[in-house]
A and B are shown apart, each in its own frame.
Chain A
Amino acid sequence: AQSVSQHNHHVILSEAASLELGCNYSYGGTVNLFWYVQYPGQHLQLLLKYFSGDPLVKGIKGFEAEFIKSKFSFNLRKPSVQWSDTAEYFCAVMGYSSASKIIFGSGTRLSIRP
């Protein structure tokens, strides 16, 4: 069965600090991986995705994530956060088969102190 764990429920950082949000998944096969962001009062937006190839993927707004297959992880990073990054972040996994569903983690709320 597919599952996703996000271990950080609420992260508080100051502006310009570096960010790393953890995401681990469980699935017995090839996966597609995603990070979504939900800004206050807005709908879900895709930050970045991994389908194949280079395990280090770059997304919008300076975010990147690294797929480490041996650790079943897809952590999200940003070298220097801004106040506007305040949002909730969701990791998601889709098993690579025609019968797969997309499963989301419980989310990490990121608060940035100006």
Chain B
Amino acid sequence: DGGITQSPKYLFRKEGQNVTLSCEQNLNHDAMYWYRQDPGQGLRLIYYSQIVNDFQKGDIAEGYSVSREKKESFPLTVTSAQKNPTAFYLCASSIQGHGATEAFFGQGTRLTVV
């Protein structure tokens, strides 16, 4: 079945460590997104990418990094510079422009800093 796979579902990190969250899609979508969800703040855009080897910062990119080496993969690294990394992270993909679609979401990764 087509969809978006995020792994792991739960992740624990010690302070000062970088950690990478995986996101893979087999929907052949060009656009991919990373959001952070915190209670009362909705989904805030961290980074997005519309094409391989290109990505743009969202509203809260500080302390995060991404890569887009393949169309189907858009991993997010939470670096030690992110001051408050404990959150629920959602990856999404969509078709943009002509024939645009809604965003399709993965199941999310809950990151806890211990």
Q: Which residues of A are in contact with B by a Cβ distance under 8 Å?
A: 6, 9, 32, 34, 43-44, 46, 49, 51, 90, 92, 94, 96-107
Chain B contact residues: over half helix, strand or loop, or mixed? strand
Q: Is B40 an interface residue (CB 8 A)?
A: yes
Number of A-B contacts (CB under 8 A): 55
Q: How many residues of B contact A (CB 8 A)?
A: 24
Q: From B13-21, B70-78, B105-113, give the one contacting chain A.
A: B105-113
Query: Is there an interface contact between B45 and A44, defined as CB atoms closer than 8 Å?
Result: no
B76-87 interface code vs A (CB 8 A; 1 in, 0 out): 000000000000
In the complex, the chain A residue whose C-beta lies closest to that of B103 is: A102
For residue A107, which residues in chain B have a CB less than 8 angstroms away from its CB? 40-43
Q: Which residues of B are in contact with A by a Cβ distance under 8 Å?
A: 33, 35, 40-45, 48, 50, 56, 58, 90, 92, 94, 96-97, 100, 102-103, 105-108
Query: Is there an interface contact between B56 and A104, defined as CB atoms closer than 8 Å?
Result: no
Nearest CB on A from B109, distance (A): 12
